[in-house]
Amino acid sequence: MLLRPLSPDEPANWPEALTLAATFTALDAWTDLVRQLYGFPVYRFQTETADGVTGLLALMHIRHPIFGNYLTTAPFGSYGGFAFDSAAARDLLLAEARRLAQTLGAEYVNLRFHAEDQTPPEGWQQQPLYRTFLLDLSPDTEALLRGYSSDHRNHIRKVLKKGFTLKFGQLDLLDDAYEALARSMRELGSPYHAKAYLKTMADLLGDSLEFAVLYSAAGDLAGAGVFIRQGKTVTNLHANILRAFRSDYAGEFLYWQTIERYAAQGCTVFDLGRSLIGSGNETFKMKWKPRNPLLQYWYALAPGASLPALNQKNSKFAAAIWLWQRLPPFIVRPLGPLLIRGLA
């Protein structure tokens, strides 16, 4: 078995089984998005035999004055960018990731992926912080509804009568999608990308991406989502509700309408996206009765380096989150992309 790097302009020609496991974050469109917007280099490798490609790895090299120097798969996504069909392919790619990190002087390399019953080999350690939530879909959405708790069913049925509307589209909804997401992220105390991030994503991903924008009965922006379809799986990349509408169960409306839409289109899995274990997001997503596998977040650390804590559980970020929620939009809008580029 051989390991081969792909040149920056070489199209990836990977088997469907591997690309589905590696998710859309391994595709050329996603790595092009990263290169075009943030200028970070992407390193791609594949293992191969005479019978074809047996493994793939796509790593982005981040250099940021606050968040450090590191390599990661699935930049700005939950997981992906790494897939293999054998332990031999996996280990070749792992060794190459460590070699590249050493060459680049990175503090660590982080591989984020979903695979069952994986134990990190020597030199790697797992950080069990996140789960993803996989909802099995079928055209019979009423059967799904019957499987929920009575409280959850009642919330869905009541919110359907409150006059909310959810529009799906692409560049026609760009402005409203960005506005809703940028506002909601500020309310959560988190930076967000510039509008160019969503526009470039829509241009590169084409029909596989849809924006969803939620409006109140009065026509006000209430929330938005970004959904990416790959095969028969649709993934929630972002889905946020503005604070003023959360008590009206607007999140239930957005999710249920999305479930009905993609179930009718023949999707069989709705990936609700990752959440920190023990978070309110995890509690909300579990109401939908999904499978909730632990994501593999493997780290190989440089000598003397420690596991990073670039998430909301880090108490060091509490003051920054509090301040960000109170800064005016004319400050957070231009500053947000400069910060979030280091939080890939």
Give the CA distances from residue 148 to residues 145, 153, 288, 289, in Å, rounded to whole numbers and listed in that order. 6, 6, 7, 7
Q: In whole angstroms, give the CA distance from residue 237 to residue 273.
A: 6
- pLDDT tens per residue across span 190-200: 999 999 999 99
What are the residues whose beta carbons fall under 8 Å from the beta carbon of 38, sequence distance 6 or more? 341
E strand or H helix at 46: strand 42-49
Question: In this model, does residue 93 exceed pLDDT 90?
Answer: yes
**What distance lies between CA 95 and its chain's CA centroid?**
25
- What per-residue confidence (pLDDT) applies to 189? 92
Q: In whole angstroms, give the CA distance from residue 333 to residue 97.
A: 34
Q: Quick check: 82 and 22 in contact, CB under 8 A? A: yes
Residue type, 190: S
Q: Where are the domains of the chain?
A: 2-128+294-331, 134-286
**What distance lies between CA 111 and its chain's CA centroid?**
14
> Is pLDDT larger for residue 241 or for residue 306?
241
134-286, CATH topology level: Aminopeptidase (3.40.630)
Beta-bridge mates of residue 233? 230, 269
Indicate the length of the chain as a whole number.
Answer: 344
- pLDDT tens per residue across span 121-178: 999 999 999 999 999 999 999 999 999 999 999 999 999 999 999 999 999 999 999 9
How far the first Cα of the chain sits from its last, in Å, is: 31
- pLDDT tens per residue across span 95-118: 999 999 999 999 999 999 998 878
- What per-residue confidence (pLDDT) applies to 318? 83
pTM (two decimals): 0.95
CATH of span 2-128+294-331 = 3.40.630
Q: CA angle, 42 as apex, 40 and 47 as ends, to 5°?
A: 170
Q: Is 278 left (phi over 0), alpha (psi -120 to 50) or beta?
A: left
- What per-residue confidence (pLDDT) applies to 315? 74
Q: Is 185 strand, coil or helix?
A: helix
Q: Quick check: 336 and 141 in contact, CB under 8 A? A: no
Q: Please check whether the two domains, 2-128+294-331 and 134-286, share a CATH topology.
A: yes
Q: Which of 5-19, 208-222, 251-265 has the lowest mean pLDDT?
A: 5-19
Helices (H), 189-299: 195-205, 250-264, 280-286
Of residues 26, 40, 120, the one with CA closest to residue 77 = 26
- pLDDT tens per residue across span 269-321: 999 999 999 999 999 999 999 999 999 999 999 999 889 887 777 777 788 88
Task: Give the largest Cα separation in the chain, rounded.
Answer: 62
